Homo-oligomer: A and B are copies of this chain.
Amino acid sequence: MQGLMMDYPLTIPAILHRADTIYGHKPIITRLPDKSIHRYTYSAMALRSRKLSAALQKLGILKGDRVATLSWNHYQHLETYFAVPSIGAVLHTLNLRLSPDDLSYIITHAEDKVIIVDQVLLPLYDKFKSKIKIDHLIVIPQTGQPIPEGALDYEKLISSADEKMFVPFNGDEHTAAAMCYTSGTTGNPKGVLYSHRSVVLHSMASSFADGLGLKESDTMLPVVPMFHVNAWGLPFTCTLLGTAQVLPGPYLDAVSLLDLLEKENVTITAGVPTIWLGILNELDTHPGKYKLSSLRMMVVGGAAAPRSMIVGFEERHGLNVLHAWGMTETSPVGSISFLAKELQNQPKETQYNYRAKQGLPACFVEVRGRNENGLIRWDGETMGELEVRGPWVARSYYNSTDMDDRFTEDGWFKTGDIVTIEANGYIEIKDRSKDVIKSGGEWISSVSLEGAIMGHPAVAEAAVFAIPDAKWQERPMACVVLKPGKSATHDEIIRFLEPQYTKIQLPDKIEFVTEIPKTSVGKFKKSALRELYKHMGS
């Protein structure tokens, strides 16, 4: 028997409609490329978004067509977030930090019909434009310079459009709404295709008091880019709630951000750890310079938040850091490290330990861990690869079959993260699955050993990785860079580690080197290290 409730599809136009009717007066604030501040309201945004929808339809964009953006965080980008899905088309945000080759591959793979580009990003666009085929280039004018020949002017498109010419999409909520490509370190980038339903449910979960606790009276500054995983869905969540948005444009340095956080009385902000480390450093260097009394929460995700950073913000500056975990494939919010009731009376040190973990799964995100022995116990000790499923988790990649090993036969997504899970549900990432060392049935965390070795006073850097072993399958090895003028021996480092580790977990080999190979974003190139040192195995 079916229920007798209304068939009300969960769609992105329904989010915009709500903001327009209830929160029309609330502000959206942007720092423009010339550093001036642009202000308008949700009503104005909704009207311009509808005009853009009408203009895109007039350009021949049909349901299911992909419309790409190459943009910083600003109000016009926000307009595309609603205009494109509102005609049933798919918003494809391009990550402007990818290489021109990756970008042209992605645009070609997604078969984008239109690209909307920031005028200040045309130099990047020029690097791959000869390799792609699109119907229309739309340029958002920003510099006062003329836009390129053959391109359409975003503002002229809007001013000449008749918003009454289109009816917002109101069909099947499983329709594709947005698309992001992951920047996987191996193989080609893979596209994740979000649906209206997944975006709406993810926004609802982000509105939970136990989630980010975002609310109408907040002012949100998303540092996390709108060109990557939809800025963690915040443009949608803020619009659903009528939360004031402060969009930083291209200025993501600590001083510019702090200026905006202070002047606009921002209450909540979100970004990756490197951003916050820069901000913490600026605050430490200039105590008392910035007045951040409005700021109630800094959300950190995209990479593990160092415990010392969480402590530093709280103890030195009275700022509250909330750690969250997710991936492009999980929309992205997968878990949030809020303090459960049982932890609220624990000592500060215990609380920091939990707040630095990846936290509790978001509602309806189910989690489990798996190793060679099957599903792991939730004992906080046994390591396994984290598998997730839920209403905003990808079930496959767009037009791709070679990554089917990322999904289990019973329909869970394999995150590639090696975790422990505690009995109370708290998840902690220990390593990436390709980096964990599988030694005689035990898994050894390379990340943990690296942290421990780098605790030695003579060590500047340490990378730990697996080398093959006939008996144990794999054994850990470390490459160590010593601090200038310092010295340490293999035995000294092993003795330094011994109190924290069992014998089987200690590295078999330690190589002292002058430099460890790194990726473009500063991570250790562990695949290169494994290849380089595989002869050291036995």
Contact = CB atoms under 8 A, between A and B. Distances in A.
The secondary-structure label for the interface of chain A is: loop
The 5 A-B residue pairs with the shortest CB-CB distance, nearest first, are: A3-B195, A1-B64, A217-B341, A22-B425, A5-B198
A528 interface: no
A352 interface: no
Nearest to A212: B209
Interface in A370-393: 389-393
B22 A424 contact: yes
Interface stretch (A145-153, A159-167, A173-181, A465-473): A173-181
Contacts of A7: 395
Copy number in the complex reads 2
Given A209-B207, A425-B21, A5 B197 contact: yes
Interface of A: 1-8, 10, 14, 17-18, 21-23, 25-26, 63-64, 90, 172, 174-177, 192-198, 201, 204-205, 207-210, 213-217, 240-242, 244, 331, 338-342, 344, 360-361, 363-364, 366, 389-398, 411, 413, 424-425
A266 B181 CA distance: 46
Contacts of A198: 3, 5
25 contacts: A1-B175, A2-B175, A4-B176, A4-B193, A4-B195, A5-B194, A5-B331, A5-B391, A5-B392, A5-B395, A6-B390, A6-B391, A6-B394, A6-B411, A8-B391, A18-B364, A22-B361, A22-B425, A25-B342, A26-B341, A207-B210, A208-B208, A216-B341, A217-B339, A217-B344
Nearest to A194: B3
B205 A209 contact: no
Contacts of A214: 209
Nearest to A64: B1
A174 B425 contact: no
A197 B173 CA distance: 13
| Interface-central residue, A64, A217, A397, by most chain B CB under 10 Å | A217
Contacts of A6: 389-391, 393-395, 411, 413
Contacts of A361: 22
Given A10-B364, A366-B17, A395-B7, A2 B210 contact: no
Contacts of A22: 360-361, 424-425
Contacts of A360: 22
Contact of A209 (B21, B213, B395): B213
Contacts of A193: 1, 3-5
B204 A2 contact: no
A360 B21 CA distance: 11
A201 B363 CA distance: 12
A424 B333 CA distance: 31
| Interface-central residue, A209, A214, A394, by most chain B CB under 10 Å | A209
Nearest to A191: B4
Given A393-B6, A395-B7, A411-B6, A209 B204 contact: no
A228 to B, nearest CB: 18
A465 to B, nearest CB: 33
B195 A5 contact: yes
| Interface-central residue, A192, A194, A210, by most chain B CB under 10 Å | A210
A172 B194 CA distance: 21
A179 to B, nearest CB: 9
Nearest to A400: B4
A390 B208 contact: no
Nearest to A407: B6
A393 B366 CA distance: 28
Nearest to A88: B1
B216 A210 contact: yes
Contacts of A2: 172, 174-176, 195
A18 B1 CA distance: 25
Contacts of A194: 3, 5
A29 B208 CA distance: 24
A177 B3 CA distance: 7
Nearest to A196: B3
B210 A340 contact: no
Contacts of A393: 5-6, 8
B366 A192 contact: no
A389 B213 CA distance: 26
Nearest to A329: B5
Given A1-B193, A3-B175, A6-B389, 6 more contacts: A2-B174, A2-B176, A4-B396, A6-B413, A22-B425, A25-B424
